[in-house]
């Protein structure tokens, strides 16, 4: 992409409405624009990162054997009356009436709708286990939408639902989700700690939230610092192996890690003092096992091996896709701007031409641009007539992992400058070597 042809409306000034760094940087980097309180337009740069995050979520879900689909945003109130949640859900639910006077709602979550699909089409235990998921916009009429995409009213969520014949099989689905979530967050350059949590309006007994540690997080969390040493890395997982998944879950759930809702001071105090940590965290996902809470009222049953109709055991599993942009920026930025992890960056490498219009500099930039594209990478070439300082400031603000700076003086010596956004270190290299490092 050439900056002269892109739409990147960066702001020079700090927007007054932004209270936290991720919100400020997303506005300044031209990633989002507020349409109404808690409702955002995703401008091209923000949209690109959102899609990258979505792709990682999809890839890891599919690897875990979960099946993508898409349900609508608008749902019928009648289904929610069947589960008893239409009245329970309260003011966070946006209720709408159509021209025929039918009650509808903008889905805050999808347990009812997916259970309705399930009961219409599945009747035998032989069709289980089954996990379906989608990535779709949700609406929750949050009393205080704030912090940009972090607590929106309209937000993008991945939500998945498992259907199993009995509890052990459903607990394997729970474990599979935990493993796939650990991999998902790690690919985004995030450390998200699974913490024992409270189930809230979804209901159920077994639940973990995934929290990214950040001072601006809304949850208070308590944990054993040992958990920070756990890395998923590039291990290969057989998602059909119950013991292997359970082993990984055990590894991550053995060190103490809880949110304030489930915090147990006696257990916490048993940890050696040097390892006891209290901090703030951002909830980027949550998994639940809730047994037959929805399948019973909604009549989602299957014939088991003995020919008896039994309600299916279910769980639901969510990732805050749009909230993740904020969480990643909270965890990865400096005073100049965002520092994107390689896994989610909107462009891989920026090219800054110090002297636009200089025949040699222009030609060198074009060659670099074409080479990066040929390598399968996406460069962002600043081919505008801005002065160098402004070009650098924009590149630092939008946080691409690498910047190649090209100017007539360097070219005389056969070199360009390669700068790492994360370390801030620069080196002068022949263009081919700079490209090799970016690859």
Residues that bind ligand ATP (CB under 6 A): 109, 140, 142, 151-152, 155, 157, 200, 283-286, 318, 320, 322-323
Nearer to ligand ATP, 83 or 109 (CB): 109
CB of 218 to Mg ion, least distance (A): 8
- Which one of 41-49, 210-218, 238-246, 276-284 is the stretch in contact with Mg ion (CB under 5 A)? 276-284
CB of 159 to ligand ATP, least distance (A): 7
Nearer to ligand ATP, 184 or 405 (CB): 184
286 binds Mg ion (CB under 5 A): yes
User: In which residue are the tokens 């997916």 written?
Assistant: 114
CB of 74 to Mg ion, least distance (A): 20
Nearer to ligand ATP, 139 or 163 (CB): 139
CB of 9 to ligand ATP, least distance (A): 23
322 binds Mg ion (CB under 5 A): no
Q: For Mg ion, which residue has the nearest CB?
A: 286
**For residue 129, cis peptide bond before it (omega within 30 degrees of 0):** yes
- Which one of 82-90, 184-192, 279-287, 405-413 is the stretch in contact with Mg ion (CB under 5 A)? 279-287
Distance CA 315, CA 302 (A): 16
175 binds Mg ion (CB under 5 A): no
Nearer to ligand ATP, 150 or 415 (CB): 150
Nearer to ligand ATP, 70 or 374 (CB): 70
Nearer to ligand ATP, 322 or 394 (CB): 322
Which tokens sit at 114? Answer: 């997916």
Length of the chain: 439
CB of 318 to ligand ATP, least distance (A): 3
* Secondary structure class of 276 (helix, strand, coil): strand
Which pairing describes strands 103-106 and 192-196: parallel, antiparallel, or unpaired? unpaired
Nearer to ligand ATP, 108 or 350 (CB): 108
423 contact partners, CB below 8 Å, separation of at least 6: none
Element (H, E) at 183: helix 167-187
Which tokens sit at 85? Answer: 């949640």
Closest-CA residue to 397 (of 322, 333, 343): 333
Nearer to ligand ATP, 84 or 200 (CB): 200
CB of 143 to ligand ATP, least distance (A): 10
Taking the CB of residue 128, how many other CB atoms lie within 10 A of it? 21
Planar angle of CA 328, 51, 154, nearest 5 degrees: 75
Distance CA 237, CA 313 (A): 24
Q: Return phi, psi of residue 400, to 5°.
A: -70, 145
Q: Which does 152 bind (CB under 5 to 8 A by kind): ligand ATP, Mg ion, none?
A: ligand ATP
Q: Is 391 exposed, middle or buried (0-12, 13-18, 19+ CB in 10 A)?
A: buried
CB of 319 to ligand ATP, least distance (A): 6
Question: Do 133 and 68 contact (CB within 8 A), yes or no?
Answer: yes
CB of 84 to ligand ATP, least distance (A): 18
**Pattern 246-265, Mg ion, x by CB under 5 A:** --------------------
Q: Which does 15 bind (CB under 5 to 8 A by kind): ligand ATP, Mg ion, none?
A: none
Distance CA 221, CA 393 (A): 36
Classify residue 272 by its DSSP letter. -
Distance CA 394, CA 391 (A): 5
Q: Which residues bind Mg ion (CB under 5 A)?
A: 283, 286
């Amino acid at each position: 992409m050439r900056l002269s042809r892109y739409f990147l409306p960066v702001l020079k000034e700090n927007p007054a409405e932004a209270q936290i760094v991720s919100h400020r940087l997303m506005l300044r980097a031209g990633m989002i624009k507020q349409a109404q309180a808690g409702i955002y337009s995703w401008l091209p740069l923000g949209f690109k990162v959102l899609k990258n995050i979505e792709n990682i979520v999809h890839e890891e879900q599919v690897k875990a054997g979960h099946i993508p689909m898409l349900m609508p945003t608008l749902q019928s109130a009648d289904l929610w009356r069947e589960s008893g949640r239409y009245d329970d859900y309260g003011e966070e639910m946006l209720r709408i009436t159509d021209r025929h006077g039918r009650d509808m709602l903008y889905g805050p979550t999808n347990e009812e709708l997916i259970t309705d699909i399930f009961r219409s089409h599945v009747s035998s235990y032989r069709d289980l286990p089954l996990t379906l998921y989608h990535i779709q916009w949700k609406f929750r009429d949050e009393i205080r939408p704030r912090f940009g995409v972090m607590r929106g009213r309209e937000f993008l969520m991945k939500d998945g639902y498992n259907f199993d014949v009995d509890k052990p099989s459903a607990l394997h689905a729970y474990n599979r989700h935990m493993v796939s979530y650990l991999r998902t967050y790690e690919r985004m350059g995030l450390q998200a700690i699974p913490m024992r949590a409270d189930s809230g309006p979804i209901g159920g007994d077994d639940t973990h939230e995934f929290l990214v540690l950040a001072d601006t997080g809304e949850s208070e969390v308590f944990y054993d610092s040992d958990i920070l040493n756990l890395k998923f890395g590039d291990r290969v997982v057989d998602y059909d192996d119950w013991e292997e998944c359970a082993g990984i879950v055990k590894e991550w759930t053995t060190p103490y890690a809880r949110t304030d809702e489930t915090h147990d001071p006696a257990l916490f105090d048993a940890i050696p003092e040097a390892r006891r940590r209290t901090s703030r965290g951002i909830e980027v996902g949550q998994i639940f096992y809730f047994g037959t809470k929805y399948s019973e009222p909604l009549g989602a049953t299957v014939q088991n091996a003995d020919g008896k109709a039994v309600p299916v055991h279910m769980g639901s599993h969510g990732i805050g896709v749009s909230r993740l942009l904020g969480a990643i920026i909270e965890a990865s930025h400096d005073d100049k701007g965002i520092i994107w992890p390689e896994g989610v960056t909107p462009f891989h490498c920026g090219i800054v031409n110090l002297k636009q219009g200089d025949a040699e500099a222009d030609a060198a930039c074009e060659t670099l641009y074409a080479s990066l594209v040929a390598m399968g990478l996406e460069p962002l070439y600043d081919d505008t007539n801005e002065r160098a300082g402004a070009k650098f400031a924009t590149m630092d603000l939008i946080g691409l992992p690498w910047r190649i700076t090209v100017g007539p003086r360097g070219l005389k010596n056969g070199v360009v400058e390669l700068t790492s956004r994360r370390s801030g270190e620069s080196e002068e290299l022949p263009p081919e070597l700079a490209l090799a490092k970016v690859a």
